[in-house]
Structure 1
Amino acid sequence: MIWQGNIHPRTDTGNCHQKHGGTSDVSVVFYDDVGKLVAFGVVDERLVIGSHGLNIVSMWDALAPYIYRERVLSTPAMLYFEDLAARAKTRPMATVHAQLGLSQCLPP
């Protein structure tokens, strides 16, 4: 996978795993799998975005250039993660929280 190395996403190929401390490949697969559950309606997107929306968007924004490079070089990778990120950008966490009418419990 292209996100497993110390590379420039537009010109290089290699292993960006070391650059990101070894966590990016696991996070990408996790968010792609969660995106599948949302896309197929197994999990309500409000649950996922309300809990992880900021992380989804941040991770996508950081890794999208590498994912797009991977698509050019080999396969249409991480389509569900991209869809999930698009949903999270369209419906931010704060919007989900407001729609749910979450209560506060302020400290004494």
Structure 2
Amino acid sequence: MDVMTDPTTTAEPPEATAEAAPGHRHGYHDAKDAYARRMRRIEGQIRGIARMIDEDVYCIDILTQVSAATRALQAVAIGLVEDHLGSCVVEAARSSQEEADEKVREASEAVARLIRS
């Protein structure tokens, strides 16, 4: 199926699945500015790819840029997984076994989604 017509492809972000407890900071909080900079850089890469398509650039050159943007997004995802495990999962494990199990399940599902993509 074509990406442009794939119903599972969406420009809208998914709804948040878990709210932070009052006073809790998400695991990525300390690196938030760095993540924001990386995402702005990736956003620029994506705009560049769209411009390449508009300008009828050679297919392989576009695919090279798509690959670079994909790797950049994967690096962000890996960082977020590491932050989640090192902060949210650890904090939950200190709280209760039930909370720890839930956070580990969430992390496992997120990793599975990353692997499938």
Pair in the same fold by TM > 0.5: no
Report the structure number with the largest CA radius of gyration: 2
Q: Of Structure 1 and Structure 2, which has the larger fraction of its residues in helix?
A: 2
* TM-score of the pair, normalised by structure 1: 0.31
Which structure is richer in relative contact order (CA contacts within 8 A, separation 6 or more)? 1
